[in-house]
Chain A
Amino acid sequence: MASEVNTAANSSAIPEISREELRRRLHDSSLAIVDVLPQESYASAHIPGALNLPLEMVAARARELLPDFAAEIAVYCGKFT
């Protein structure tokens, strides 16, 4: 699994998750998928099983939605960033 974690070559220090792994583990309860887009966007389309945690609410709601600090989390937003 660690092999699939390829750290972004450029600036970002956050490791990446590939689409393949995401699809494979869609029903794996040990991986939490988090949609950091606004609620409207989440409402229109999101990856199945994803939680919605809009960026501006991360600080306020993160503890509630993601109680486990060590949990595997995959975050995504809208564009190719």
Chain B
Amino acid sequence: MLHDLGYSNVRHYRGGIADWVESGEPTESVTATASEPDPAAATPAGPPLAASPSGEIGRGPARLSRMRQLDNSVLDLVQRRSTLQLFLIWIGTILLSGSCYWLGALIGDHGLVEGGRPVGADLKGFASAVYFSFVTATSIGYGDIVPVGGARVIAIAEAVTALLVFGAVVAKFVSHRQEELVSEIHRVTFDERLDRVETNLHLVISEILSIASMCEAKAPLNRISTRLESAALLFLGELRTTRDLLYQPRLMVEEGVLAAILATLASALSVLSDLLASLPPEFSRSQPFMITLDRLTALAQEICGECVPHTYTPRLVFWMDRIQATARQIK
């Protein structure tokens, strides 16, 4: 199996764990206190499946996975914050660092120096510290005020942090617009698709009705058969779309639109059922048509108020149940 995935150097220890234990070799076990692998854990790139703490072998992949986990959690953190929150974090970083520079001035030689003189630990000094903090965070670095001693460490840490946070703010801002655009495009194409479903279902109805009149007019059976096959295929396609719509709704569909589609679907099913019942006895159903019909009824029977994973309004449930009931009658 690993071979199939592309691993080239796999060997099999045929004895397995049973042979290992029998020969008296030591084994390891995972106690309840250890972080046990949980497939249902919330983290998508979950922890490695309990690599042993002492074994050299397990360490490489485990560390890699842990790093990825950290990476993911950082990305998650950024993902969850709004643009405004991130911006406030940025401002907070600057103010915090500003306070640190100011406190550094209190300690002594670890604050800021402006024009050769240390910045005082007074209110004016605080303003200077915040000003320097902004200049550092935006990576402008005028150089009119410079950090000395411990303040240098803070200045570097601040510059790095603030740059990263600001980058996140900008990225968030840009991606937000993009997401809006993408969802707008999705919505437009989706609306078009919905329109087409309804139109096609109406087409199916009128086609079935005209086939029914052909039957009454005693038209040649092979012509009826061909038209019925193509109508059933079209019907199947639209039915599948409707079923997917109910089972995996990607976007919210307006109740009215959905009700119209379901009602059309129900009446299409009932005219189809009527037609099939009224077909002349000498009409033989072709193999492809039988298959299409089977799939059609199977799909339609999956539509009912209780089978779909979401709860819909009574009106929609009524139509869904109607569809299922009609599909059951089709023979």
Contact = CB atoms under 8 A, between A and B. Distances in A.
Binding partners A and B:
yes
Contacts of B25: 19, 23, 47
Nearest to A43: B30
A45 B52 CA distance: 11
B56 A28 contact: yes
Interface string A6-23: 001000111111110011
B27 A46 contact: yes
B114 to A, nearest CB: 52
A48 to B, nearest CB: 5
A73 B16 contact: no
Closest A-B pairs by Cβ, 9 of them:
A49-B55, A76-B13, A52-B49, A17-B11, A49-B57, A45-B27, A43-B30, A29-B56, A14-B12
Range for the number of chain A residues in contact with chain B: 35 or more
Given A42-B49, A51-B51, A31 B17 contact: no
Contacts of A79: 16, 18
Interface of A: 5, 8, 12-19, 22-23, 26-29, 31-35, 37, 39, 41-55, 57-59, 61-67, 69-81
Contacts of A13: 3
A45 B28 CA distance: 5
Interface stretch (B58-66, B241-249, B306-314): B58-66
Contacts, number: 177
Interface string B1-21: 111011111111111111111
A5 to B, nearest CB: 7
A48 B27 contact: yes
Interface residues of B, number: 47
B59 A41 contact: no
Given A19-B19, A34-B2, A46-B27, 7 more contacts: A16-B11, A19-B20, A19-B25, A42-B49, A50-B52, A73-B9, A80-B16
A73 B9 CA distance: 6
A26 B57 CA distance: 8
A26 B58 CA distance: 11
Nearest to A13: B3
B45 to A, nearest CB: 7
Interface string B35-65: 0110100000100111110111111110011
A71 B55 CA distance: 17
A78 B8 CA distance: 23
Contacts of B58: 49-51
Contacts of B54: 48-49
| Interface of B (DSSP majority class) | loop
Interface in B240-277: none
Given A48-B27, A71-B9, A32 B49 contact: no
Contact of B23 (A19, A42, A46): A19
B28 A46 contact: yes
Nearest to B10: A73
Nearest to B9: A72
A33 B1 contact: no
B13 A19 contact: yes
Contact of A70 (B9, B39, B51, B52): B9
Given A14-B3, A48-B52, A66-B7, A19 B15 contact: yes
A42 B30 contact: yes
Contacts of A12: 12
B29 interface: yes
